[in-house]
Structure 1
Amino acid sequence: MKKIVFILLACMQLGTLEAQNGNHFPKQDYDYFLDFFATRDRNTHQKALIYINDNWSEDFEALAIESLYFLKSPSTSSKLLNILQKKTGKNYTYDFNQWYEYLWNKDATYNEGYYFFKAALHRAIDSRFAKYFLSRQGQSKIRLDEVRWGGVIQDGIPPLRNPNMINANQARYLEDDHIVFGISINGDTRAYPKRILAWHEMFTDQVGGVPVAGVYCTLCGTVILYKTEQNGVQYQMGTSGFLYRSNKLMYDKKTQSLWNTLWGKPVIGPLVDKGIELEYLSVVTTTWGEWKKRHPETKVLSLKTGHDRNYDEGIAYKDYFSTDELMFNIPEKDKRLKNKQEILAIRLPGETEENIAISSKYLRKNPIHTGIINQKNFIVFTDKSGAHRVYFNKTIEFVAYDGQSTATDSKGNSWKLEEEELINTKTQEVLKRVPTHNAFWFGYKAAFPEVTLIK
């Protein structure tokens, strides 16, 4: 997501947000920060600066930093920066990564007014943004000062809804070494090329009769497949335009609640604390050649998406993927792995808080890996393309794997690796698949600070 340069002016419609929310207040502290965007009048700006300086409190820090991020008046920006630096004793100038890290590495200081400020400030970009913060009903599971605009409007990166799928032999635009994200539900097998999905970051569809959303956070390297129906409720998901710890936040159309992509839970809005957590399914990151070899019957995304994009391999986010630098910073980096080094995530939501991340580099060197989560044995098979498949293992010892579709146990039995299960070809014994997905290390660690790393 790229930062869009814009000017926030009279369209702020100050005061209407409180009125729409049923509240009528005298001028609040945050209103003085909004004055910078409501008018170009220098006298108004000067009065606001005097008020901010004379009435400074720690809860002004988030307001000031976020105002500076968007301010386009050099004179006002310089004066506000001087106040911020003087009050905090920090001289970070316009290095917003340093300002945000300073803010995030101490207890939150903002007050209730910050929600109104955030709604008013971002409403000028997209009127729908205000609902994210005003419909919260006092509920938030994440720090609001860590919620940052990613540079686009709601669904500005357009999800693919019920996208056109074609047969494998029709996908002449794909080469065997192109990266795809493979899924299989109830025998319905599909491939979503990275070169297409990176431009859309989400697809919604019925796969194998199951309503799903595949969510691709390009910034944190994660594709997660969620069942979007829970307890009889069908959630219509979209891309909010906001990030939390460099991880995209989803929203649901009905309530405009914000959802954490990696958690599968609503984190701001009316749905928070309602016991909602979407079930996720496995996604295999592999090559088109390996996927179609395993699944000649697979469907694959058509280039006819209804959108005009350059879908050539490696074009989308080319600069971002080519370095280890982040586009949006996080509170703290864990240097045990490089930021964008890929890991396999293994967790069992609803069963345990245990969380395991295994370096994909390690798994390539160890194509058979066993482990335990929540007192359950699991086994990871990593094929020649680097794709991982994980199964609950009981007590069976596997001694060989051909790097494709066949594993052998210590008794000489042959097992076939399927997308939803591992099958003993002689006895037909079945080991069920463990839902997993890949991610960049930095983003996964930021979402799950207590994760156990294997490398």
Structure 2
Amino acid sequence: MRSTRRRFVAVAGLSAFAGCTSVLDRGSEGEPATTAESSTTESASVNDEAVPTAEATLPLPMEPGELESLAVSGGPPKDGIPSIDEPSFVGPDNADFLDSGDPVFGVALNGAIKAYPQKILVRHEIVNDRLSDRSVAVTYCPLTGTVQGFERGETTFGVSGRLINNNLVMYDRATKAWWPQILATSIPGSWNSDPGTSSLREFRLVWTTWERWRELYPDTQVLSTETGFAKNYGSDPYGSYNPRGGYYANENMLFEPLEEDDRFGRKRVFMGARTADGAVAFDKSTLLEERIMTGELSGTPVVAVADRRLNTGYVYLNPDERTATTDGSTVQMGDSSYEPNALPLAGVHTFDAMWFAWHGYYPDTDVYA
């Protein structure tokens, strides 16, 4: 029998995880909370141009229709895991629900500095937010360990209830197209048979700890636990990152991955980067230790640099194979020093991903460990 997130929670004795196991979520007063589904009718009239898309389309591992055929139910129905559509934030001094080692997903963009705690996102997976005047969706898939940001224009994104390669499949409420999170590219879905193929405009979220993010950005805003939903944000239904345990610390899967590759542990974390030409992945622990690694992305030289301030990394195209060195906190290229996230090269969108998830979607990826 194929496992589901509903069955996983039941087996683990975590039936209190209502967001992933109940068709109807409950508000703080015991009445049905207003979910994303309730706003679908109003949003449905927005035309296709409401979803901002990138100039270049990212690669898919197979035809869009074939990907759609591989989608499986994760247990909850459409919007059964409710997105946060009206987020509220608190200052760092009022984020007493966070411990120093708790994971947060940080962004400093467009004049806004925000942290989205993993312990909140694990129960919602999508936050429809704004970074100053830019409408965005912050998305997180706990089964693949991926957090990604997308521009959303005039629409919002919701959780479809489907998974491909164990990865969250989002849908937008304007066109009803499906968007596998890692691929960031549209495929047909149950509510839209031919959306065309295009990729979303992405922005970087940094997977780090609350202690590291607050030290670098002391004035950050933090997503509040006052979400409008009655949730236990003090526990993670899949396990724990602080300390690591449960699903995040073993090799067990809820669903079969698209590809199997035994070179590395299934849930070993890589820093993945992809363009329309291909994909590359650097082992995160190795990158943090060596600080600078080089490789190729479909034949184009690339350089990966670690940022120990936030325990993350960045990947750049380096066609001229410029030499990069580091003294620890900055990176030297030529006669100048640069922050790890500001090299004078073309950056490639980079994010954390479990190995099975990255390899499943990009089986021909260049990989360096």
Per the normalisation by structure 1, the TM-score is 0.61
1:247 is matched by which residue type in structure 2?
N
Cα 1:414–1:258 change in 2 (3 A) is closer
| Structure 1 counterpart SS, 2:169 | strand
2:352 aligned residue (421, 431, 438): 438
Corresponding residue of 2:167: 247
2:248 is matched by which residue type in structure 1?
F
8 Å Cα contact 2:186/2:197 also seen in 1: no
Cα 1:140–1:390 change in 2 (3 A) is closer
| Structure 2 counterpart SS, 1:225 | strand
Shift of residue 272, structure 1, vs aligned partner:
3.9
1:169 aligned residue (93, 107, 121): 93
8 Å Cα contact 1:4/1:151 also seen in 2: no
Name the one with the larger strand percent: 2
Shift of residue 322, structure 1, vs aligned partner:
3.3
Structure 2 residue 309 is matched with structure 1 residue 399: no
Structure 2 residue 127 is matched with structure 1 residue 206: no
Cα 1:379–1:445 change in 2 (3 A) is closer
2:267 aligned residue (335, 340, 350): 340
Corresponding residue of 1:315: 236
Corresponding residue of 2:213: 291
Shift of residue 219, structure 1, vs aligned partner:
0.9
Corresponding residue of 2:6: 2
Cα 1:251–1:452 change in 2 (3 A) is same
Structure 2 residue 83 is matched with structure 1 residue 159: yes
Shift of residue 434, structure 1, vs aligned partner:
3.1
2:289 aligned residue (328, 343, 365): 365
1:304 aligned residue (185, 203, 226): 226
CA distance in 2, matches of 1:414, 1:254: 45
2:359 is matched by which residue type in structure 1?
K
Show CA shifts across 1:203-237 (max 9, x none).
Answer: 111113221112111111111111123xxxx3421
Q: How does 1:50-449 map to 2 (within 5 A)?
A: 140-229=64-153, 234-269=154-189, 270=192, 272=194, 274-312=196-234, 315-318=236-239, 319-348=246-275, 352-373=276-297, 375=300, 377-383=302-308, 386-391=311-316, 396-402=322-328, 406-409=329-332, 413-417=336-340, 421-422=342-343, 430-431=344-345, 433-449=347-363
Shift of residue 169, structure 1, vs aligned partner:
2.4
| Structure 2 counterpart SS, 1:205 | strand
Show CA shifts across 1:317-353 (max 9, x none).
Answer: 11322321001112431111111111111112xxx32
CA distance in 2, matches of 1:235, 1:334: 38
Shift of residue 144, structure 1, vs aligned partner:
4.8
8 Å Cα contact 2:91/2:222 also seen in 1: yes
Shift of residue 398, structure 1, vs aligned partner:
2.9
Show CA shifts across 1:75-98 (max 9, x none).
Answer: xxxxxxxxxxxxxxxxxxxxxxxx
1:447 is matched by which residue type in structure 2?
Y
Show CA shifts across 1:366-393 (max 9, x none).
Answer: 1122344363644322416532234455
Alpha-carbon RMSD: 2.7
Per the normalisation by structure 2, the TM-score is 0.74
Show CA shifts across 1:6-40 (max 9, x none).
Answer: xxxxxxxxxxxxxxxxxxxxxxxxxxxxxxxxxxx
2:339 is matched by which residue type in structure 1?
K
| Structure 2 counterpart SS, 1:265 | coil
Point out the structure with max Rg over C-alpha: 1
Cα 1:296–1:433 change in 2 (3 A) is farther
| Structure 2 counterpart SS, 1:363 | helix
Unaligned 5+ runs, structure 2: 10-39, 41-62, 240-245
Cα 1:258–1:203 change in 2 (3 A) is same
Unaligned 5+ runs, structure 1: 6-127, 129-138, 423-429
CA distance in 1, matches of 2:283, 2:264: 8
| Structure 2 counterpart SS, 1:437 | strand
2:104 is matched by which residue type in structure 1?
V
Count of aligned pairs between the two proteins: 303
Cα 1:391–1:357 change in 2 (3 A) is closer
Structure with the greater relative contact order (CA < 8 A, sep ≥ 6): 1 or 2? Answer: 2
CA distance in 2, matches of 1:221, 1:203: 16
1:414 is matched by which residue type in structure 2?
S
Cα 1:188–1:449 change in 2 (3 A) is same
CA distance in 2, matches of 1:408, 1:340: 29
